[in-house]
Structure 1
Amino acid sequence: MSFQKDKMIIIPAVDIKNGKCVQLVQGKPGTEQIQIENPEKVAKSWEDEGANVIHVIDLDGAIDNKTNLIAIKKILDEISVPIQLGGGIRTIKYAKELLNLDIERLIIGTMAFEDKDIIAKLSKEYGSERIMVSLDSKDSEVVIKGWKEKIGKKPAEVSLEFEKLGAGSILFTNVDVEGLLNGFYTEPVLELLKTVNIPIVYSGGITTLNDIEKLSKTGVQGIVIGSALYKNKINFKESLKYQNILK
């Protein structure tokens, strides 16, 4: 599902670790608060509730350089809506393998910073709309390698460069608030929105329907919700009243 100007889509997250759907606090291993068998069934349940896109993150790939390719393929077989996928994509060969599986959008983080030309190559071969760059921010600096390593630059500094290289969208995650269920700050995402013209998808700290309403007024074209859904802080069907509305 392509992003459309003046519309916002709400995207449930399915994070996979050791073949299970989990939710971590700030991406730290050992902080699993949710563990559910059969991630493909979880993804299907979100589709059944009205999701137009599923956000899938391979946490083993992001943290330990392993992959959950079997679980990813099961999700693709189980659901009919598109998925956007990230986590542990460290080589252009693996990126192409995933794109050839008909992943709607591939979320590239660490590899994009280690070899920026890869973004240009993949965008040219597969179309920019299928290439999303992950900008994860901690203490206002971009972090890579599973949120462990700072690169010394702010998200806005690097976002324009990736847009010029051909990235079709940006996933912006505020690690400072991710998984804490304490809300979020709008300033960092507003700065990004002023910098680039490609769609921004926001993730991190979304806890209430009021948070969703607040984001609908910023101009982001997508939001990813994880922990708040799994801990019943937000009812997904109720959240859909804010979908496709930008004020």
Structure 2
Amino acid sequence: MRVESLGSTLGSEFGTVFHSSSSIFGTKKIDGYRRSATFRFRRVPISCAVRFRPCIDIHKGKVKQIVGSTLSDSKEDGPALVTNFESDKSAGEYAKMYKEDGLPGGHVIMLGADPLSRAAAIEALHAYPGGLQVGGGINSDNSLQYIEEGASHVIVTSYVFNNGQMDLERLKDLVRVVGKERLVLDLSCRKREGKYAIVTDRWQKFSDVYLDKKILDFLAKYADEFLVHGVDVEGKKLGIDEELVELLGKHSPIPVTYAGGVTVMADLERIKVAGLGHVDVSVGSALDVFGGNLPYEEVVAWHTQQEALTV
């Protein structure tokens, strides 16, 4: 089916709000988040507060932070693979932390189809049943298994955007199996010729589907949420792709989470403003729990502050 023929809209409600608790990683709990002089941005409507969506990336059974654009489809990752961090904590421990800190809607991504990665993902789902989405090798045959293991949603990219084309029959099949309300479409993209093209197969292959209002409206008929990594900046801690966030905030008719390039607390506010308060945010390599410098507890406190704005 050609993208040019697409066009429709469908709204969706945003999720509920939760509270914040303490971390298993020994960092001191912060009771509140103080806005510094750094955050002097125009105000966003109170009804449009955003959420922090945590992540657990699993590679060969271990929780890692990898520069996604360096992954390959080969069974043995080559020398080009860039690993920012490998944790001595299990996926289940991270999931337990997110549960204790009241952070629903995070994603578990299997960066490979090996049994160790699948086992680690299931461990995380069991530790936080109903609180995590799962992606990586999901198709209509195995999607329901992950829901039964405790995933709130399954996340799909390559199965639907196959060989550079959108396979509408596969998408409809997934909806029949798990339901629209349990499906997240990963629309991670890279810029090509000035437009954002959805990329598949570990972000190595460009599809002929480009993000714009028409495609977002159409895909919203089949999904509960979108997840979008800005692949050009993901894992590189170079700052966010503000243009992409603006596009998502303006045109996505359903909840959408952006990931990629967050480095400092100011980036969270930039996403809030650029996304018009409609774009949730995921942070990976920059967090101290993943070897970075950005305090996880400060991000949790920021998340709690955003929730308070909706009361």
TM-score (norm 2): 0.70
Counterparts of 2:230 and 2:184 in 1: how far apart (Å)? Answer: 16
Please tell me whether the aligned partners of residues 47 and 81 of structure 1 are also in contact (alpha carbons under 8 angstroms): no
The higher radius of gyration belongs to 2
Please tell me whether the aligned partners of residues 110 and 137 of structure 2 are also in contact (alpha carbons under 8 angstroms): yes
Establish whether residue 155 from structure 1 lines up as the match of residue 211 from structure 2: yes
Q: Of residues 117, 127, 142 in structure 2, which corresponds to 1:94?
A: 142
Please tell me whether the aligned partners of residues 172 and 189 of structure 1 are also in contact (alpha carbons under 8 angstroms): no
- The equivalent of 1:55 in structure 2 is 107
Q: Secondary structure at the match of 2:52?
A: strand
Counterparts of 1:199 and 1:67 in 2: how far apart (Å)? Answer: 31
Please tell me whether the aligned partners of residues 241 and 260 of structure 2 are also in contact (alpha carbons under 8 angstroms): no
Higher helix share: 1
- The equivalent of 1:144 in structure 2 is 200
- Offset of 1:221 from its aligned partner? 4.0
Please tell me whether the aligned partners of residues 14 and 42 of structure 1 are also in contact (alpha carbons under 8 angstroms): yes
Q: Secondary structure at the match of 1:153?
A: strand
Distance 1:212 1:88, change over 3 A: same
- The equivalent of 1:107 in structure 2 is 155
Q: Of residues 48, 56, 68 in structure 2, which corresponds to 1:6?
A: 48
Q: Secondary structure at the match of 1:55?
A: strand
- Offset of 1:148 from its aligned partner? 0.9
Q: Map of 1:207-246 to 2, 5 A cutoff? A: 207-217=263-273, 218=275, 219-229=277-287, 230-243=290-303, 244=306
- Offset of 1:71 from its aligned partner? 1.0
- CA deviation map 1:147-183 (0-9, x unaligned): 111013322253222113x211111111000001010
Q: Secondary structure at the match of 2:48?
A: coil
Amino-acid identity (%): 24
Counterparts of 1:81 and 1:207 in 2: how far apart (Å)? Answer: 29
Counterpart residue type for residue 300 of structure 2: L
RMSD (CA atoms): 2.4
- The equivalent of 2:92 in structure 1 is 40
Distance 1:80 1:125, change over 3 A: closer
Q: Map of 1:57-206 to 2, 5 A cutoff? A: 57-61=109-113, 68-80=117-129, 82-89=131-138, 91-114=139-162, 115-139=167-191, 140-156=196-212, 158-164=215-221, 166-206=222-262
Higher relative contact order (CA 8 A, sep 6+): 2
Counterpart residue type for residue 70 of structure 2: K
